[in-house]
């Protein structure tokens, strides 16, 4: 039986669901240390990072410099700002940071992506 105490008061009790011999094996298992999370404001080296507007496609991705970055299905068909901050890509909608990815694109293609901040214009002369 497992008893959980807080400040010498019994909070919960649980029955054991495993064999006592397996308990020592579980205690020896190495647990990976948690990755440190920083607030987005602290992580940004500068507020003047260039950003571009991209539309989230029907599968929940945005395209930047020839690479698709995942945003999420609940943001489909919305406009997002994509910014290069150091070696990461930050995706914002409004003032809210939605996702942060390690950059996977070719850095030489950044110039072309940043040169067209509104994305490709809609085609009006379709034949």
116-120 own/partner pairs: CB under 8 Å, 24+ apart: 116/52, 117/51, 117/52, 117/53, 118/52, 118/53, 119/52, 119/53, 119/54, 119/55
pLDDT over threshold 60, residue 41: no
Mean local confidence (pLDDT), 53-81: 91
Is residue 70 a part of any domain in this protein? yes
Q: What pTM was computed for the model?
A: 0.54
Residue 126 lies in a domain: no
Number of domains within the chain: 1
User: Where in the sequence is the domain holding 58, given as residue range(s)?
Assistant: 46-115
pLDDT band of residue 43 (cuts 50, 70, 90) is very low
For position 38, what pLDDT does the model report? 53
Residue 26 lies in a domain: no
Q: What pLDDT band is residue 59 in, cutting at 50, 70 and 90?
A: very high
Is 15 contained in some domain? no
């Amino acid at each position: 039986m497992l008893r959980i105490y807080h400040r010498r008061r019994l909070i919960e009790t649980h029955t054991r669901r495993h064999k006592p011999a397996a308990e020592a094996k579980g205690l020896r298992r190495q647990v990976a240390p948690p990755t440190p999370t920083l607030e987005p404001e602290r992580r940004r080296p500068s507020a003047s990072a260039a950003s571009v507007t991209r539309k989230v496609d029907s599968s929940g991705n945005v395209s930047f410099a020839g690479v698709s970055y995942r945003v999420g299905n609940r943001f489909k068909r919305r406009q997002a700002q994509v910014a290069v901050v150091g070696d990461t890509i930050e995706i914002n909608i409004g003032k809210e940071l939605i996702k942060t990815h390690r950059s996977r694109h070719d850095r030489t293609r950044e110039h072309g992506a940043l040169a067209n901040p509104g994305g490709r214009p809609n085609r009006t002369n379709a034949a």
